[in-house]
Structure 1
Amino acid sequence: MKYIKKLVIMMIPVMFLAGCSSASIDTKNVSKEAIERNTMTKVQSDVNVIMNKSYDYVLQNMGSPYSTIYSLKVDNIDKFKNLKEISDKDMNNVEILSEGLLYPKYTSDYKLDGSALYIALKDDKVSEVETCDFKNLDVALLMDEEANAVISVYNDYNSLNENNIDKDNLDTYIGKEKNSISSITKNKKCQYSVYIEADGGIDIDIYNIKDSNFLVIAYKNNEITYIAQRDGRKIAAAIQKNIN
């Protein structure tokens, strides 16, 4: 279980970095709903409408996506299977290979149809558009070919109520099924989700609590393997210092 905790700690700085990138969405001058729907309809009929268009063009004409998905390359990720081989430098060797924007598809009467458009970006340009299953989305299928981890940053998420979290007893959830945590999450949407190709695949959900406090939960085969409440202010400050 210790190496999973190491993986979680390693990914948190990257999540803040990805969050800084996607945060600019809220400040964009996005188009009105009618124009966004019209563009979506055109793209569903002919993806060439947005091929090679810029990131800004997509936001201005389609609005904010449901989520922004980042494909990552983590050097020597397999080393995290062996605790003796883990070193501090492994925590910093993370590269963002590509990003993509996920837009749910709607019917003519503006109801979700169960699928979504995934718009892949390379060098700030649309490089690929594909349809995927929105209800049962498997982000591993959307990963860059060279990636071994992926982070989804959600634009619409819910904050958890701190009163529902008993920090002293969080460890009692380890080993239990994912749905056992519903008494805390209350079926709310997380702010970040992570998938890591290590030890057969690890899923991590990060829920906002308030300010820079997060509840971090890792799963393997639908079983909780790590859970902790973490304060990310120092990490966020360090990243902000490095990217300015």
Structure 2
Amino acid sequence: MKLRKLLYSIIIISAFVTGCSKSENINTNESLPNEEMKHRMMTKVQNNVNEIMNKDYEYVIENMGKPYCTTYYIDSDNPREIRDKRLIYPKYTEGNKLDKSALYINLRDDHVVEVQTYEISKEDLNEKYINDGADIIVDRYNYALPISLSSVEKIDINNFIGKDTRLVYEYFGDKSPSLEAYSKAGNRNIDLYEVESSGEIKLLVIFSKENKIEDIKIINQEKLVNILKQYLDNK
């Protein structure tokens, strides 16, 4: 996977960072279920997947709430048409403790086509239900916590260049990025963290290859597309 295709695809899907995806603009104040409704629906689906089979995206969100992670499968030759995506809902025990498994709900053209239960792992997140035509995968973590502005301002970027990407996660207390994009081959990654700020929304963007950090940029959200294009032009 060439970096050029990966970046062009990120430019196309940058709307996901700002919540502008048309199919996902659901009135959260009126449509999202409470915790009791979510748990009840989760139990129904675990017992009988037909509860949501062939239902549309909006139905799933209105009855199960926002997923932990939404995955988009993208054909880099046609990045504007995203037909396949996956919703991941972690399962909880009766004591409301996080289980080691999750419901993986796969959608095509915004309708549920498959529901499976898998153990949650990085390998599962990367490999389950990858469409043959998709060579770019984007994970959007709906409950990712922003990183503090003070920790970002203190960061010495030069100390991270060429180092393993794990160092960034450790530096920010193992917080997940808001959005992670990577090639199916797994050699290119772009991670976006939202930064706490009282003014303009800021993003920390990390470019890596084969788990080694190539560059780190701190930008205002509205400048994301321009920064990605500049990075692309230099490659």
Aligned to 1:85: none
Higher helix share: 1
Unmatched runs of 5 consecutive residues or more in structure 2: 227-235
Deviation of 1:160 after TM superposition, in Å, equals 1.8
- Once residues 158 and 12 of structure 2 are traced to their aligned partners in structure 1, the CA distance between those partners, rounded to angstroms, is 23
Which letter does structure 1 place at the counterpart of 2:211? N
The partner residue of 1:125 within 97, 104, 111 is 111
The partner residue of 1:39 within 36, 41, 45 is 41
- Once residues 41 and 155 of structure 2 are traced to their aligned partners in structure 1, the CA distance between those partners, rounded to angstroms, is 50
- Once residues 5 and 132 of structure 2 are traced to their aligned partners in structure 1, the CA distance between those partners, rounded to angstroms, is 24
Deviation of 1:72 after TM superposition, in Å, equals 0.6
Aligned to 2:68: 66
Aligned to 2:86: 100
**Do structure 1's residue 228 and structure 2's residue 230 form an aligned pair?**
no
**Do structure 1's residue 162 and structure 2's residue 149 form an aligned pair?**
yes
- Once residues 60 and 5 of structure 2 are traced to their aligned partners in structure 1, the CA distance between those partners, rounded to angstroms, is 36
Tell me if the contact between 1:140 and 1:150 (Cα under 8 Å) persists in the aligned partners: no
**Do structure 1's residue 178 and structure 2's residue 165 form an aligned pair?**
yes
Please give the root-mean-square deviation of Cα atoms over the aligned residues, in Å: 2.9
- Once residues 234 and 175 of structure 1 are traced to their aligned partners in structure 2, the CA distance between those partners, rounded to angstroms, is 25
Deviation of 1:10 after TM superposition, in Å, equals 5.0
Going from structure 1 to structure 2, the CA distance change for 1:23 and 1:106 (only over 3 Å counts) comes to same
Which letter does structure 1 place at the counterpart of 2:89? Y
Aligned to 2:201: 212
- Once residues 160 and 62 of structure 2 are traced to their aligned partners in structure 1, the CA distance between those partners, rounded to angstroms, is 43
- Once residues 98 and 219 of structure 2 are traced to their aligned partners in structure 1, the CA distance between those partners, rounded to angstroms, is 35
Q: Identity over the aligned pairs, expressed in percent?
A: 34
TM-score (norm 2): 0.78
TM-score (norm 1): 0.76
Unmatched runs of 5 consecutive residues or more in structure 1: 76-91, 238-244
Which letter does structure 2 place at the counterpart of 1:225? E
Number of equivalenced pairs: 218
Deviation of 1:218 after TM superposition, in Å, equals 2.9
**Do structure 1's residue 140 and structure 2's residue 127 form an aligned pair?**
yes
Aligned to 1:84: none
Residue deviations 1:205-226 (CA, integer Å, cap 9, x gap): 2101143321111333432233
Partner of 1:48, secondary structure, is helix
The partner residue of 1:57 within 53, 56, 59 is 59
- Once residues 7 and 201 of structure 1 are traced to their aligned partners in structure 2, the CA distance between those partners, rounded to angstroms, is 11
Deviation of 1:104 after TM superposition, in Å, equals 0.5
Further displaced range: 145-154 or 214-223: 214-223
Going from structure 1 to structure 2, the CA distance change for 1:111 and 1:17 (only over 3 Å counts) comes to closer
Tell me if the contact between 1:153 and 1:191 (Cα under 8 Å) persists in the aligned partners: yes
- Once residues 8 and 139 of structure 1 are traced to their aligned partners in structure 2, the CA distance between those partners, rounded to angstroms, is 19
- Once residues 181 and 26 of structure 2 are traced to their aligned partners in structure 1, the CA distance between those partners, rounded to angstroms, is 21
Going from structure 1 to structure 2, the CA distance change for 1:31 and 1:10 (only over 3 Å counts) comes to closer
Which letter does structure 1 place at the counterpart of 2:136? A
Deviation of 1:148 after TM superposition, in Å, equals 0.5
**Do structure 1's residue 113 and structure 2's residue 99 form an aligned pair?**
yes
- Once residues 227 and 9 of structure 1 are traced to their aligned partners in structure 2, the CA distance between those partners, rounded to angstroms, is 18
Tell me if the contact between 2:14 and 2:225 (Cα under 8 Å) persists in the aligned partners: no
